[in-house]
Structure 1
Amino acid sequence: MAGIDRMKTRIVWMIDSLGHGGAERLTLAILERLDRERFDLRVCALQERAGNPMAGEIERAGIPVDLLNIPNLRHPANLIKILRYLRQHQPALLHLQLEFSVILGSFAARLVGIPAVATLHTLDNPQERRAYWRYRLSLYALKHWCNVSIGVSESTRQHHLRDGKMSPHKIITLYNGIELSTFAERSPTFCQEKRRALGLRPEAVVAVTVAVLREPKGIQYMLQAMSQLREQYPNFQYLVVGDGEYGPTLRAQANSLHLGQSVIFAGQRKDIPEILSVCDFFVLPTLTEALPTVLMEAMAARKAIIASNVGGVPEMVEDGVNGRLLPPADVSALTAACSEMIQNPTQRERWGQTGRRICEEKFDIARQIQALETLYFSLIGSTQP
């Protein structure tokens, strides 16, 4: 048997893989802050993806990571591997992230007799046949094998209640949170130097998007808007931070539109708080989103927001209060909203300060951790000290 500290409650977080997505970053943020005096924590990743870059960061936080290296998550024999893992490590509770972990992990937890919690990060409505049936199976698992599911936004909760025909008491809303102190205001000297390092002009008005570069993030629509905005506002620049399979397509689009240095692709970065501090407003032209962490970060950094009115975004951004909510895939609306931001620096500042207050009230990670620990003990049957 693995060495088990019976003075602590062992929790295993199971996730499909440990790439650079939002669920993976959330896993690290929460695990770093759960009470190590009460919890013995482990992470189990089912599959290798892009080298599992987040595995190293989690291990550096002092949390063991187990990589099962399952080559084909659809094979039924994988259940045996997961059962062996659970019997070896004997967790008191299994916390599941993403679809395959929900399907396989919740069934395995039921077989070994431990409670399972699932966090719902997405608003899926897949049309492709294989993805559709995987989604339906995950809904079945949530309904029949998980003790509680956590929607990261109320829209996520309602989506799964409707699609999965789940009992309302089995799915709760618990907003993700961030460490607000990370997003401090920077000195003018720091901002000038950071801008220079990023290829941004000192006097430019800068919009920024931070995202994994996938087609549903909608950055292609912002590039179309930039083809109009750069003519009207030569001193306007757009910074794109992130990488992904859609990156080459976006770069090719920017080249075909002759956007030049009005658009900067910065690639994958770890210095997001510093980057946000030197930009003027944040744009998220996404087509679907449950509760984007990047919007919390932008709000914490006191940035006014332009975002699509989809999913959980309206739970974060109120039109005319801390930003603008737009129809998705609407280039004209994006162009108009950016023009408004460029022309109204005082309004940008006011909206940014309001966004920070909203973030402090709703998206402080300390509040999320307290609620999650309370949930764990209620399911395990323990009482809090």
Structure 2
Amino acid sequence: MSRIKLLHVVRPAAGGMKNHLINLVRYTDKKRFDVTVACPPNTALWDELTALRVQTFPIPLVGELSPTRDYAAVHSLVKYLNQSGTTILHAHSSKGALVGRLAALMARTPVVIFTAHNSIFYEEWPEWKKKLFATVERFLARFTDKIITVSDALKQELMEREGLPAKQLTTIYNGIEVEKFAAKVDAKSVRRSLNIPELGPVVGTIARLAPQKGVSYFLKAASLLKEYQVNFLVVGDGPLRETLEQEATELGLQNRVIFAGQRENIAEILSVLDIYVLPSVTEGLPLTILEAMAAGKPVVATRVGGVPEAIAEGKTGLVVPSRDPEALAVALAGLIGERDRLIRMGANGQKHVKEKFTVSMMVEKTKQLYNQLLTVVMQFQDNIPRSIT
């Protein structure tokens, strides 16, 4: 029996979206599905997919609106969809969904799915651009079989702010490889590699250094905890790195905050943290808090997007208002030094993630959605494979 041809379409992706797609592709049943990813070449995502021997198709897709490149990407995708006989197009992010769904509409691809990882309304875009994307989204939704949201909060926002019908939306939570983050490592060696002093607990965040990640609020909270013997760690890179380093200096945190830059050994880094902080202004359902809980670390995070759906308040972590460094500092002060409480929260977090947020759960629910939509299509097209269980 021939395999079902499945094409994922995604813009240049990093962080959580990249990891989400990599996990989804890695664990999709290759006996049932012939998987290809359309994305820009010469990117971290492309390189990682190539290393995993995943089929890739190059498209000139960029994050910002670019009529010339976007047209070229649509043209390339239409040609590919027609020649490959693709049955399912699964787009990711608003930009990937814009280009991917236009191509699918022109190529008459049988099944079209869009995963929304976050809300466009919190992007650092001018208001006209947000309104334009929302208008285009409402139009393209008419030609989309299902829109996946990574949290119920994001689903509700798309219904309220974009006017999308509830029946077209479904929530599938992000999932992670829990065992990957539960492994024991040499904590002293990892601390040395990050230039973290031997004494004092470590409170850290891992994020792309961009406005929506709220790292500035993390630094402001750290400045309110100077009397505590705490080491603060910022892992990641991005357009705000120089600005944030300057802010740390202005706040008198030169010897208290370590900017570790981009790192790949996230599981090892999480192992040396005592508390993980997510200070974001907007999120869908961030993988980093799931990874931190899988590593047995309590989480203090802002009440945005699907974060309250992932954290069991008071049991696996604490949730505070966004853009409020004082509230963040108070929450951290209440946990620092309470070793027994930190250990208890960490253990609860590991159990919580295993029960609700594993890769196998995410992949299985996605496959069930593919199955559901293909069943409808098979009523009209006899040439689509009939068994995907």
| Same-fold call, TM cutoff 0.5 | yes
Q: Is the 8 A contact 2:11 2:61 kept in 1?
A: no
Distance, in Å, in 2 between the alignment partners of 1:219 and 1:166 is: 32
Partner of 1:267: 261
How many residues are aligned here?
372
Describe the shift of the 1:312–1:43 C-alpha distance in structure 2 as closer, same or farther (beyond 3 A).
Answer: same
Deviation at 1:7, TM superposition (A): 1.8
Distance, in Å, in 2 between the alignment partners of 1:308 and 1:116 is: 33
Partner of 2:324: 330
Task: Give matches, 1:55-204, under 5 Å.
Answer: 55-70=46-61, 73-75=66-68, 77-78=71-72, 79-114=74-109, 115-125=111-121, 128-187=126-185, 190-204=186-200
Partner SS for 1:240: strand
Q: Identify unmatched segments of 5+ residues in structure 1.
A: 1-5
Deviation at 1:183, TM superposition (A): 1.1
Which AA in structure 2 matches 1:74?
Answer: P
Which AA in structure 2 matches 1:154?
Answer: D
Distance, in Å, in 2 between the alignment partners of 1:316 and 1:256 is: 34
Partner SS for 1:117: strand
Distance, in Å, in 2 between the alignment partners of 1:204 and 1:152 is: 36
Deviation at 1:16, TM superposition (A): 1.7
Distance, in Å, in 2 between the alignment partners of 1:300 and 1:77 is: 42
Distance, in Å, in 2 between the alignment partners of 1:252 and 1:107 is: 43
Partner SS for 1:226: helix
Partner SS for 1:66: strand
Which AA in structure 1 matches 2:198?
Answer: P
Deviation at 1:70, TM superposition (A): 4.9
CA RMSD of aligned residues (A): 1.8
Deviation at 1:237, TM superposition (A): 0.5
What's the % identity of the aligned pairs?
29
Partner of 1:3: none
- What are the superposed Cα offsets for residues 247-300 of structure 1, whole Å, 9 maximum, x if unpaired? 111011112222123111111111001110111010011111110110100011
Q: Is the 8 A contact 1:13 1:42 kept in 2?
A: yes
Deviation at 1:117, TM superposition (A): 0.5
Distance, in Å, in 1 between the alignment partners of 2:388 and 2:130 is: 41
Which AA in structure 1 matches 2:67?
Answer: R
- What are the superposed Cα offsets for residues 304-348 of structure 1, whole Å, 9 maximum, x if unpaired? 111111111100113212111111111211111111121311111
TM, length-normalised to structure 1: 0.92
Deviation at 1:380, TM superposition (A): 2.4
Describe the shift of the 1:104–1:69 C-alpha distance in structure 2 as closer, same or farther (beyond 3 A).
Answer: closer
Deviation at 1:191, TM superposition (A): 0.8
Distance, in Å, in 1 between the alignment partners of 2:322 and 2:360 is: 32
Partner of 1:383: 387
Which AA in structure 2 matches 1:52?
Answer: T
Q: Is the 8 A contact 2:9 2:92 kept in 1?
A: yes
Distance, in Å, in 2 between the alignment partners of 1:182 and 1:306 is: 22
Distance, in Å, in 2 between the alignment partners of 1:92 and 1:324 is: 43
Matched, 1:225 2:229: no
Deviation at 1:116, TM superposition (A): 0.6
Partner SS for 1:11: strand
Describe the shift of the 1:70–1:332 C-alpha distance in structure 2 as closer, same or farther (beyond 3 A).
Answer: closer
Distance, in Å, in 1 between the alignment partners of 2:131 and 2:96 is: 15
Q: Is the 8 A contact 1:142 1:149 kept in 2?
A: no
Distance, in Å, in 1 between the alignment partners of 2:139 and 2:117 is: 15
Partner of 2:344: 350
Which AA in structure 1 matches 2:57?
Answer: D
Partner of 2:8: 13
4+ residue stretches of structure 1 with deviation over 3 A?
70-73, 75-79
Partner of 2:231: 237
Which AA in structure 2 matches 1:119?
Answer: T
Describe the shift of the 1:142–1:25 C-alpha distance in structure 2 as closer, same or farther (beyond 3 A).
Answer: farther
Which AA in structure 2 matches 1:64?
Answer: Q
Q: Is the 8 A contact 2:94 2:120 kept in 1?
A: no
Distance, in Å, in 2 between the alignment partners of 1:70 and 1:330 is: 36
Deviation at 1:141, TM superposition (A): 4.2
Deviation at 1:138, TM superposition (A): 4.3
Q: 1:214 aligns with which of 193, 210, 216?
A: 210
Distance, in Å, in 1 between the alignment partners of 2:52 and 2:170 is: 28
Partner of 1:52: 43
Distance, in Å, in 2 between the alignment partners of 1:289 and 1:119 is: 14
Partner SS for 1:172: strand
Q: Identify unmatched segments of 5+ residues in structure 2.
A: 376-385
Partner of 1:27: 21
Which AA in structure 2 matches 1:383?
Answer: S
